[in-house]
Copies of this chain bind each other. A is one copy, B any other.
Amino acid sequence: MTTDQLITQIRKKQSFLCIGLDVDLNKIPKHLLKEEDPIFAFNKAIIDATHHLCVAYKPNTAFYEAYGIKGWQALEKTINYLNDNHPEIYTIADAKRGDIGNTSTMYAKAFFEDLGFDSVTVAPYMGKDSVEPFLAFKDKHTILLALTSNQGAFDFQTKTVDGVQLYKQVLETSKSWVNAENLMYVVGATKAEFLADIRKIIPNSFLLVPGVGAQGGNLQEVCKYGMNDSVGLLINSSRGIIYASQEENFAQAAADKSEELQQQMAAVLAI
């Protein structure tokens, strides 16, 4: 999917909501455990109930790998279900990969070609030649970790490197990489006030913002500092939506929670 197609969907649905499909078998409703593939059954129900309220889904690959082959199959079924039934939905493999050049190409092929995701999250520590293999794929986005939403972000990301903080150095440096127009960035919502500075460095890029809801971030704050003329934001909520209820009504509860966020987003877009 191109950036323009994503923006069109955001305008149409009046939503820049991304729903994180982080499926934990200990947290999904008990009755689903009887299904042949409980993870996919859960995802399908969530997608069926919420696809009109969001523009993107983001499975975190860790939750699938943790269940081995069965987990990997559930991930494959989920992305196929999305691509077959909702091709207008933007898909993000939250994999946080990154390796030396030829190896990053293998990861890129796995997520972009074999699984057919629109984008994948990538860690910046190994630098240019670990990220450019992802950027080489046309109409696919590479979402680079810049400032994450966890406490450990302050261990290295906010340390001062040659006069500027490391995450700003990552933003600045990445702009010079080949096919940098295919970059988006992860910026945690728990640090909304950082967004003003970030926008000075990358005014036009899309930001994937985790941490709204369960991790304490505030939607209005994020929009105030992070939105640009093309919206430029994908706000992710995972646990706050998919585990809104752990009873049989879980899909409806997820839809209710999604609609609440979508309404807040529509209000912001109307200003």
Contact = CB atoms under 8 A, between A and B. Distances in A.
B124 A156 contact: yes
Interface stretch (A81-89, A97-105, A262-270): A97-105
Given A126-B152, A130-B150, A161-B166, A68 B72 contact: yes
A7 interface: no
Given A66-B107, A68-B72, A97-B96, A125 B123 contact: yes
A155 B60 CA distance: 27
Contact of A62 (B104, B149, B161, B162): B104
Interface in A55-109: 60, 62-63, 65-69, 72-73, 76, 96-101, 103-104, 106-107, 109
Interface string A158-185: 0111100010011001000000000000
A129 interface: yes
Given A68-B72, A76-B69, A156-B124, A63 B162 contact: no
Q: What copy number does this chain have within its complex? A: 2
**Interface size, A (range):** 35 or more
The CB with the most chain B CB atoms within 10 A, among A65, A125, A153, A166, is that of A125
Nearest to A68: B114
Contacts of A98: 96, 123
Contacts of A24: 106
Given A65-B107, A110-B68, A125 B127 contact: no
A152 B109 CA distance: 20
Given A97-B62, A107-B66, A173 B150 contact: no
